């Protein structure tokens, strides 16, 4: 068995804080359109992704197959965030100022977390 440290792969490129923040903003717009009538089939899948990152224990998981079931542009935004997470220490959407949007997302898709008390 080799004891060499893992090598960086070119497929995981460096993602800036700003690029990740822009991807989060685009994904939130898909998951939280202005009205429920404006939701698309991708909306709950994007919500699953963001909520699993935000609090997987309480909000559920993100089935990897969802990457195949959304448009390539949406999947790329998800992968952009994952690439950023792979290069940073623990960081969440509130680092980009999205705490309130994540709460709204939680309420829309999982119910109000304050009601679970």
State the pLDDT at residue 14. 84
> Would 7 be classed as within a structural domain?
no
Q: What is the pLDDT of residues 59-88, one digit of tens each?
A: 989 999 999 999 999 999 999 999 999 888
Question: How many domains are contained in the chain?
Answer: 1
For residue 101, being part of any structural domain is answered with: yes
- Is the per-residue pLDDT at 95 higher than 60? yes
Q: Do the domain assignments include residue 11?
A: no
Given this model, what pLDDT does residue 2 score?
A: 57
Average pLDDT over the chain reads 89
In a domain, 6, yes or no: no
Kindly tell me if the per-residue pLDDT of 116 is higher than 70.
no
Structural domain includes residue 117: no
pLDDT tens-place string over residues 3-55: 677 665 556 678 999 999 999 999 999 999 988 889 999 999 999 999 999 99
**Host domain of residue 60:** 17-112
Domain-embedded: residue 107:
yes
Output b/e per residue, 52-88; b: 16+ Cβ within 10 A.
bbbeeeebeebeeebbeebeeebbebbbbbbbbeeee
pTM recorded for the entire structure: 0.85
**What pLDDT score does 17 carry?**
93
pLDDT value for 6? 63
Q: What is the pLDDT of residue 106?
A: 94
């Amino acid at each position: 068995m080799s004891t060499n440290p893992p090598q960086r792969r070119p497929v995981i490129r460096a993602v800036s804080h700003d690029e990740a923040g822009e991807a989060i903003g685009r994904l939130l717009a898909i998951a939280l359109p202005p009205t429920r009538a404006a939701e698309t089939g991708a909306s709950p899948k994007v919500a699953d992704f963001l909520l699993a990152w935000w609090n997987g224990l309480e909000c559920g998981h993100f089935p990897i197959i969802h990457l195949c079931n959304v448009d390539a542009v949406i999947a790329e935004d998800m992968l952009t965030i994952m690439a950023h997470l792979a290069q940073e220490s623990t960081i969440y959407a509130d680092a980009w100022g999205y705490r309130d949007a994540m709460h709204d997302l939680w309420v829309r898709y999982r119910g109000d977390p304050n009601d679970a008390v």
